A and B are shown apart, each in its own frame.
Chain A
Amino acid sequence: MNHKTILIVEDNEMNQRLLVRQLARLGITDVAVAANGIEALDWLARHSCALVLADCQMPGMDGYEMTRRIRAYERHDGPRLPIIALSAGVMQGDKAVCIEAGMDDHVAKPAQLEILRTTLTAWLVGTTLSLPKGSQP
């Protein structure tokens, strides 16, 4: 199992707890958590990670703005970081807004373990994630 850090950007403590536990069940224990886009950018300035799971609506700086800033930085330096939106969107076109902001994919909240596994497998190239026994849908 290839352990690369995944950054969770999520302000809701229930979602944070759920995601950390779900990632652990998929064999990913190298996880960092930021409560909003500002904290995430600060963390990314000092660390690297394999993928970002980001809520869209957060106080301080939302996931859209955080993604725009990451993509602006990547135009000058660095490889493209996969950013997966976590959204309980309410407005029509929320998914399109995620893509326009530069996010790569979208997972509805609360995330289901199998959907999380499928999505992460698609974006974590070279990584095989497996559900623990008894967790198959």
Chain B
Amino acid sequence: MNERLRPLLFDAEVLADTANGDSALLQDLVEIFLRIVPPMTTRLRHALETSQFAVIAEETHGLRSCLAMIGATKLDTRCREMEIAARRSIGDTMDDALCADIEQLIGDVHEYHAASLRNIAR
């Protein structure tokens, strides 16, 4: 699929609702997301590779807040399922593609942020 035609992995309207019309807060949330989610994803990937269930539960739980806030509902649901499995130490249901998909989301949020900054500059 052409990257430009692929739908965004988050819902900008949910993000706007979360910020409740406060554009400064919206920008802050996006910038915090772009700063904290990449290292969380890296830690989750390592925890998955080493089957550290406590860390998987902790990181997926932390990611869920970030994903819910920007309307990345499907990824939030996948994190939720993985958090439940990790808390029960069920290793065979781990979602191997999750980290790659979150990284794709990070790319989408970067694009959105860059476009927002361009609009502000106009």
Contacts and interface: CB of A to CB of B under 8 A. Distances in A.
Q: Is chain B's interface secondary structure helix, strand, loop, or mixed overall?
A: helix
A28 to B, nearest CB: 15
A88 B32 contact: no
In this complex, the member of B25, B33, B58 whose beta carbon has the largest number of chain A beta carbons within 10 angstroms is: B25
A45 interface: no
A11 B32 contact: no
Interface residues of B, number: 23
Interface stretch (B5-13, B63-71, B99-107, B110-118): B63-71
Interface of B: 18-22, 25, 28-29, 32-33, 36, 58, 61-62, 64-66, 68-69, 80, 83-84, 87
Contacts of A15: 65, 69
Nearest to B64: A88
Contact of B84 (A11, A12, A22, A91): A91
18 contacts: A11-B62, A12-B65, A15-B69, A17-B25, A17-B29, A18-B18, A18-B29, A18-B69, A21-B22, A22-B20, A25-B22, A88-B61, A88-B65, A91-B87, A109-B65, A110-B68, A113-B20, A135-B21
Contact of B32 (A13, A59, A90, A113): A13
Contacts of B69: 14-15, 18, 110
Interface in A73-111: 88, 90-91, 109-110
B65 to A, nearest CB: 5
A21 B22 CA distance: 9
Nearest to A110: B69
A126 interface: no
Instruction: Give the one of B21, B33, B65 with max A CB within 10 A.
Output: B65
A7 B66 CA distance: 21
A29 interface: no
Given A25-B20, A91-B87, A57 B61 contact: yes
B38 to A, nearest CB: 13
A11 to B, nearest CB: 7
